[in-house]
């Protein structure tokens, strides 16, 4: 899809406005003027986000006997952050505009150029200095160094410190993974591009522990790259909008031996929304050193070693943002989200043809009450059918079901397909089966 710059800017405006208008994403604390880098997910957004996380969890934990789940605390002993290297190396280079004192990331050329254009005079910048992204908090009754903690900058550390707990409490054997979904916090210098760079966001990660051998490392790194790309494709994302990008030596995070991003062709250029990282033995070795606890694994042959970790780390918010962008369609005076049915907030919507005819409302309610036991179903009896279709299209509901006067006689309803707009009559008794099959749930 080739688009001019103006068209791309427009697309982001349309997505942001639809997200607000239809309850996907609201600016955080909006009534107080907002809080930069924070976003609140509304009724449809919360459903979409939950569906995304549930699908990920199913794919990783439910379908893999060698991956187990974990839900670690956000707040950790600060020593964990010293050990993982975040206190020292979790930084971005910061520069300050000498004209207006606004601060920027020194590695974001486009943002710097665009800022310079906003000033009449020639802009001079301070020398870059390293700015730590960890968000600080104080725990306990005394404020000060002793009570200083950090909100997790990545969710990984909670998994690494529990490596032995998981080994000792389950039957897993190398190679195996620990999956986790949760919030992370970064004091980003310049949050922006809607939810793309936020200060509070969610991650979905698997730390996959393997035997520390070069060949094994390469094999699993390639395996997870393909596996993750295939997953996003299976969610219906367009192939031409996805690509891998390998990190150069000088841009890899302090813990990574190898790193590849999966990028999306966003309206403002190719952007990372997940990474596959070969972390080697960085984390476990450092935690062993700093905690004094043994972090080794003993295999069936009696060989003892600190395993290597191949990590897949996806942003929930960025994945969701790009799923919205990728599914947005404008066709013949209608807007619809061509979301994969498994992701769609509602699987179907039920309408009585007329809201003031009790027999129709009653029948439609009956169907709604039945279907809602297994599927997330929307109910709408406002306005005319055309408006209701328009409204469900905008939030990506795959099927709309209308109960009309004929339904009372022939016991059938009209089912309308979001993508083709085709309508067919389906027996009420068959409706649940029909939808379940169509939705491939």
Binding site for ligand GAP (CB under 6 A): 154, 156, 186, 188, 197-198, 201, 203, 205, 272-275, 277, 311, 313-315, 317-318
Q: Cα(425)–Cα(427) distance, rounded to whole angstroms?
A: 7
E-strand ranges in 42-125 read: 67-69, 91-96, 103-105
Between 203 and 265, CB nearer to ligand GAP = 203
Provide the token pair at 398. Answer: 């795959």
Q: How far is the CB of 310 from ligand GAP (least distance, A)?
A: 12
Q: How far is the CB of 79 from ligand GAP (least distance, A)?
A: 19
Between 277 and 287, CB nearer to ligand GAP = 277
CB contact at 8 A, 316 and 343: no
Q: How far is the CB of 313 from ligand GAP (least distance, A)?
A: 4
Cα–Cα nearest to 187, from 92, 73, 108, 251: 92
Query: Please, which residues bridge with residue 315 across strands?
Result: 203
CB contact at 8 A, 160 and 287: yes
> Which residues contact residue 361 at a Cβ distance below 8 angstroms, ignoring those fewer than 6 apart?
352, 355, 381
Provide the token pair at 210. Answer: 């393997």
> Which residues contact residue 342 at a Cβ distance below 8 angstroms, ignoring those fewer than 6 apart?
51, 55, 235, 439, 440, 441
Between 151 and 314, CB nearer to ligand GAP = 314
End-to-end CA distance of the chain: 30
Q: How far is the CB of 198 from ligand GAP (least distance, A)?
A: 4
Q: How far is the CB of 304 from ligand GAP (least distance, A)?
A: 26
Q: How far is the CB of 352 from ligand GAP (least distance, A)?
A: 42
Phi and psi at residue 412, to the nearest 5°: -125, 160
Provide the token pair at 418. Answer: 């979001």
Q: How far is the CB of 224 from ligand GAP (least distance, A)?
A: 13
Q: Cα(19)–Cα(330) distance, rounded to whole angstroms?
A: 15
CB contact at 8 A, 235 and 304: no
Between 115 and 318, CB nearer to ligand GAP = 318
Between 188 and 393, CB nearer to ligand GAP = 188
Query: Please, which residues bridge with residue 307 across strands?
Result: none
Residue nearest to ligand GAP (CB): 315
CB contact at 8 A, 346 and 368: no
Between 24 and 201, CB nearer to ligand GAP = 201
Between 158 and 352, CB nearer to ligand GAP = 158
Q: How far is the CB of 196 from ligand GAP (least distance, A)?
A: 6
Half-sphere CA count of 160, side-chain side, radius 13 A: 29
Q: How far is the CB of 7 from ligand GAP (least distance, A)?
A: 25
Q: How far is the CB of 195 from ligand GAP (least distance, A)?
A: 7
Between 230 and 366, CB nearer to ligand GAP = 230
Q: Cα(104)–Cα(271) distance, rounded to whole angstroms?
A: 18
Between 108 and 186, CB nearer to ligand GAP = 186
CB contact at 8 A, 294 and 339: no
Q: Cα(438)–Cα(441) distance, rounded to whole angstroms?
A: 8
Phi and psi at residue 359, to the nearest 5°: -65, -40
Between 277 and 342, CB nearer to ligand GAP = 277
């Amino acid at each position: 899809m080739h688009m001019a710059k103006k068209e791309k800017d427009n697309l982001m405006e349309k997505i942001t406005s639809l997200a607000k208008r239809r309850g996907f994403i609201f600016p955080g604390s909006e009534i107080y003027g907002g809080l930069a880098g924070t976003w609140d997910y509304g009724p449809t957004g919360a459903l979409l986000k939950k569906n995304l996380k549930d699908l990920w969890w199913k794919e990783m934990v439910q379908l893999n006997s060698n991956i187990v789940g974990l839900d670690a605390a956000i707040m950790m002993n600060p020593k964990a952050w010293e050990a993982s290297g975040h206190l020292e190396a979790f930084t971005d280079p910061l520069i300050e505009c000498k004209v207006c004192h606004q601060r920027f990331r020194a590695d974001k050329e486009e943002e710097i150029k665009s800022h310079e254009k906003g000033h009449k005079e020639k802009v001079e910048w301070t020398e870059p200095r390293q700015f730590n992204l960890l968000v600080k908090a104080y725990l306990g009754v005394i404020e000060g160094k002793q009570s200083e903690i950090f909100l997790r900058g990545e969710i990984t550390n909670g998994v690494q410190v529990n490596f032995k707990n998981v080994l000792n409490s389950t039957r897993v054997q190398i190679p195996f993974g620990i999956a986790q979904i949760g919030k992370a916090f970064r004091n980003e210098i310049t949050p922006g591009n809607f939810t793309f760079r936020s200060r509070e966001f969610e991650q979905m990660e698997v730390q996959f522990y393997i035997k520390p051998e070069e060949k094994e490392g390469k094999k699993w790194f390639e395996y997870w790259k393909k596996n993750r790309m295939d997953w996003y494709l299976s969610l219906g994302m367009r192939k031409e909008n996805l690509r891998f990008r390998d990190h150069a030596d000088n841009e890899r995070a302090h813990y990574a031996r190898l790193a590849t991003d999966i990028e999306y062709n966003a309206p403002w250029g190719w952007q990372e929304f997940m990474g596959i990282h070969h972390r080697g033995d960085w984390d476990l070795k450092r935690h062993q050193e700093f905690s004094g606890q043994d972090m080794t694994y003993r295999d069936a042959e009696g060989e003892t070693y600190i395993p290597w970790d191949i990590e897949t780390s996806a942003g929930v918010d960025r994945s969701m943002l790009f799923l919205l962008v990728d599914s947005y369609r404008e066709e013949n005076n209608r807007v619809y989200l061509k979301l994969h049915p498994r992701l769609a907030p509602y699987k179907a919507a039920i309408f009585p043809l007329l809201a003031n005819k009790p027999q129709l409302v009653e029948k439609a309610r009956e169907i709604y009450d039945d279907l809602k036991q297994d599927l997330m179903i929307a109910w709408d009896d406002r306005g005319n059918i055309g408006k209701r279709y328009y409204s469900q299209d905008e939030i990506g509901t795959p099927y709309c079901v209308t109960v009309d006067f004929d339904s009372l006689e022939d016991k059938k309803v009209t089912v309308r397909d979001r993508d083709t707009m085709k309508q067919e009559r389906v027996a009420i008794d068959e409706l649940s089966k029909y939808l379940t099959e169509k939705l491939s749930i």
